[in-house]
């Protein structure tokens, strides 16, 4: 039996092949699997050019926001950019500070401390900014759920422009302007922008008003960085933004980004979305999980080679520390979950769980057990939790049902966070458990694998990999193509990694021999037999200055 549910996509209908005969058959199959059915759609996806970028003035309140910012610029008002502490928020903060500075404005950053302040706007922080002479605050990747805080700002005489991409609550904050493609009544054609993408739309509108939009090209690396780090869908406008941003990162990276690339052991000039997702974004996020994220912001902003080296080394050190803490906490949380018994929704809490890594641990739990998972740092009076979920259970909708129990919450359908009075924790757990039990009843709670095509190993050579790269960048919404090969001979299989967490294999079919690696499949070593059906991605292994194609094994089952 496979460890996941395999969903082999149907073959392309003959008429579809005829209608799109100008494309290679493999590309047609892959695009068909992604819901692209018209020749114009296929061409637009493969081109991924500026035509995918919508008019920023289609955003709600954009005219109002531009008018207020230009009033501040002309009057010499002091502005603050209030950003989130994750890589998306940090990138958006740097983007807005750089953009407004270029326009002649004075903009100072404010990024809250995750551990002492928490997510979103804070009244004390807004009051402090007001005392510093700030008259306009522009949020970056936050603010849409900060109803009470925006009301406080208005009483102070502090104007707030919200740029955010999170789901609005039923009551909208009374801000000067709210730029969010998810707002009710929004006519913006693409709702999947990351926080940094929404911030870019504000800058596009500002720069377009003075005929200087081309100057934003230098900032596109920040947009790609935040969009990939936030796991936003790499479709539509995001596809264009990330492609342009990756070009910038590879041609002319900032000093801080170049230092991170070098210290991560990556090859400058060959950075792709996967490199950012697995190597760069975790470094930017690590320091904010353990201390203050302002260090990551400074690294993105620095123009000093010495400072870039020092800050990148610090982030690398914090990322190593974060990895160790995550593993140790995951072990404790898993033990707690197993002791209490596996239920439709997993929830664990302890005063010693660090809220900065709670989301990472919840994500690993959700992957391992394929259930919504919540990790809570419990306090004497106030507790905070991070949630990760599965497609079958909308966690932000569930939290909305529990709104009366919470001080604050926000997020997406599969990732969210909250704070609440500790006394409400039992009731919250009971309510969420009841919702999950009903909604997940009868569902096979194993992760599913969408498989693009069944192929033979001998058919993977030649131009298969270069053809696949036409669909890049890969990520959320546009996953790397996944293939199935049946009755593959296992010539060799051995553990890989310090804790034998992974597998290294040598595989053969019809005379074609391939190397394969199975990340996090080490626990299934005893199930490896001489003949397997395998599901995998085709990837380029870059090691020791050499490049070689290999199979990234996602799952396997007995060929019998």
Residues 324, 138 contacting (CB under 8 angstroms): no
Q: Has residue 218 been placed in a domain?
A: yes
C-alpha span between 55 and 190 (Å, rounded): 11
Instruction: Check whether residue 98 and residue 214 sit in a common domain.
Output: yes
Q: Which long-range contacts (CB under 8 A, 24 or more apart) does 337-344 make?
A: 337/365, 337/369, 342/369, 342/371, 343/371, 343/433, 343/436, 343/437, 344/371, 344/372, 344/433, 344/436, 344/437, 344/440, 344/445
pLDDT means over runs of 10, the chain (560 residues):
87 80 82 83 84 95 97 97 96 98 96 86 95 97 94 95 93 96 95 97 95 92 97 93 97 96 92 94 91 94 96 94 94 93 94 91 93 96 95 94 91 90 97 96 89 91 85 91 96 86 94 93 92 94 79 93
Q: Has residue 455 been placed in a domain?
A: yes
Instruction: Check whether residue 65 and residue 193 sit in a common domain.
Output: yes
C-alpha span between 95 and 301 (Å, rounded): 9
**In the block, which residue shows the tokens 């780090």?**
229
C-alpha span between 425 and 427 (Å, rounded): 5
CA torsion through residues 120, 124, 127, 132, sign = negative
Domain boundary among 213, 238, 263: 238
CATH number at residue 400: 3.10.310.30
Burial zone of 199 (CB within 10 Å; 0-12 exposed, 13-18 middle, 19+ buried): buried
Q: Has residue 33 been placed in a domain?
A: no
Domain count, the chain: 3
Instruction: Check whether residue 160 and residue 73 sit in a common domain.
Output: yes
Q: Has residue 325 been placed in a domain?
A: no
For residue 59 the two structure tokens come to 């955003």
Domain boundary among 238, 272, 302: 238
CA atoms within 13 A on the CB side of 309: 2
Strands 453-454 and 415-421 turn out to be unpaired
C-alpha span between 436 and 418 (Å, rounded): 18
Instruction: Check whether residue 233 and residue 103 sit in a common domain.
Output: yes
C-alpha span between 397 and 410 (Å, rounded): 10
Question: Domain range holding 192?
Answer: 56-238
User: Residue 445 has what DSSP assignment?
Assistant: -
C-alpha span between 46 and 152 (Å, rounded): 47
Q: Has residue 481 been placed in a domain?
A: yes
SS3 46: helix
Instruction: Check whether residue 419 and residue 483 sit in a common domain.
Output: no
Instruction: Check whether residue 457 and residue 428 sit in a common domain.
Output: no
Strands 415-421 and 382-388 turn out to be antiparallel
Residues 220, 98 contacting (CB under 8 angstroms): no
CA torsion through residues 81, 87, 92, 95, sign = positive
Instruction: Check whether residue 384 and residue 484 sit in a common domain.
Output: no
- Residue 462's pLDDT is 77
Residue 534 makes CB contacts below 8 A (sequence gap 6+) with 484, 485, 488, 507, 516, 551, 553, 555, 556
- Residue 1's pLDDT is 64
C-alpha span between 227 and 217 (Å, rounded): 16
- Residue 544's pLDDT is 66
Residue 102 makes CB contacts below 8 A (sequence gap 6+) with 215
Radius of gyration of the chain (CA): 24
CB atoms within 10 A of CB 248: 20
Instruction: Check whether residue 230 and residue 175 sit in a common domain.
Output: yes
Residues 165, 181 contacting (CB under 8 angstroms): yes
- Residue 69's pLDDT is 98
Strands 482-496 and 453-454 turn out to be parallel
Domain boundary among 209, 238, 267: 238
Instruction: Check whether residue 115 and residue 211 sit in a common domain.
Output: yes
CA distances to 261, 370, 451 from 285, in Å: 15, 25, 31
Instruction: Check whether residue 405 and residue 519 sit in a common domain.
Output: no
Q: Has residue 82 been placed in a domain?
A: yes
Q: Has residue 379 been placed in a domain?
A: yes
Instruction: Check whether residue 431 and residue 520 sit in a common domain.
Output: no
Residues 271, 251 contacting (CB under 8 angstroms): no
Q: Has residue 74 been placed in a domain?
A: yes
Q: Which helix (H) or strand (E) holds 483?
A: strand 482-496
Instruction: Check whether residue 392 and residue 496 sit in a common domain.
Output: no
């Amino acid at each position: 039996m496979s460890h996941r549910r395999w969903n082999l996509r149907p073959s392309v209908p003959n008429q579809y092949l005829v209608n799109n005969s100008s494309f290679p058959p493999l590309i047609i199959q892959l695009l068909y699997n992604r819901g692209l059915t018209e020749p114009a759609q296929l061409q637009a996806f493969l081109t991924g050019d500026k035509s995918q970028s919508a008019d920023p003035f289609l955003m709600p309140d954009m005219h109002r926001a531009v008018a207020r910012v230009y009033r501040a610029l002309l009057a010499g008002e002091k502005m603050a950019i209030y950003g989130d502490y994750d890589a998306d928020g940090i990138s958006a903060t740097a983007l807005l500070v750089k953009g407004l500075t270029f326009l002649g404005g004075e903009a100072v950053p404010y990024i809250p401390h995750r551990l002492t302040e928490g997510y979103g706007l804070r009244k004390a922080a807004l009051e402090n900014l007001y005392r510093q002479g700030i008259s306009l605050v522009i949020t970056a990747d936050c603010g849409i759920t900060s109803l009470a805080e925006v009301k406080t700002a208005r009483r102070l005489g502090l104007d707030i422009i919200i740029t955010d991409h999170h789901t609005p609550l039923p009551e909208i904050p009374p801000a000067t302007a709210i730029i969010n493609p998810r707002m009710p009544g929004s006519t913006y054609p693409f709702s999947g922008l990351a926080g940094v993408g929404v911030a870019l739309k504000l800058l596009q509108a500002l720069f377009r008003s003075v005929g200087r939009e081309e100057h934003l090209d230098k900032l596109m690396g920040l947009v790609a960085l935040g969009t990939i780090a936030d796991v936003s869908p790499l479709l539509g406008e995001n596809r264009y933004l990330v492609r342009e941003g990756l070009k910038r990162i590879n041609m002319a990276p900032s000093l801080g980004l170049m230092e991170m690339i070098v210290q991560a052991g990556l090859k400058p000039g060959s950075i792709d979305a996967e490199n950012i997702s697995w190597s760069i974004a975790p470094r930017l996020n690590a320091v904010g999980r353990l201390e203050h994220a302002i260090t990551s912001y400074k690294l993105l902003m620095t123009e000093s080679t010495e400072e870039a080296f020092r800050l990148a080394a610090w982030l690398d050190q914090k990322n190593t520390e974060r990895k160790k803490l995550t593993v140790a906490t995951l072990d404790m949380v898993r033990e707690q979950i197993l002791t209490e018994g596996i239920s439709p929704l997993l929830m664990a809490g302890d005063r010693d769980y660090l809220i900065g890594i709670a989301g990472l641990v919840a994500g690993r739990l959700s992957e391992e057990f394929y259930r919504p998972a919540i990790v809570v740092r419990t306090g004497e009076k106030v507790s905070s939790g991070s949630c990760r979920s599965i497609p079958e259970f909308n966690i932000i909708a569930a939290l909305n049902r529990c709104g009366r129990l919470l001080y604050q919450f926000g997020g997406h359908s599969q990732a969210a966070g909250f704070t609440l009075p500790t006394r409400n924790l039992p009731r919250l757990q009971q309510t969420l458990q009841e919702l999950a039990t009903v909604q997940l009843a009868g569902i096979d709670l194993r992760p599913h694998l969408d498989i693009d095509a069944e192929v033979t190993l001998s058919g993977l050579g030649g131009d298969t990999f270069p053809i696949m790269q036409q669909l890049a960048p890969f990520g959320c919404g546009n996953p790397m193509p996944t293939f199935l090969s049946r009755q593959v001979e296992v010539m060799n299989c051995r553990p890989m990694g310090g804790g034998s967490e992974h597998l290294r294999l040598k595989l053969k079919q019809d005379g074609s021999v391939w190397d394969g690696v199975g990340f996090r499949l080490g626990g299934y070593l005893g199930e490896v037999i001489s003949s397997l059906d395998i599901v995998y991605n085709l990837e380029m292994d870059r090691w020791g200055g050499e490049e070689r194609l290999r199979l990234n094994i996602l799952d396997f089952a007995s060929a019998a």
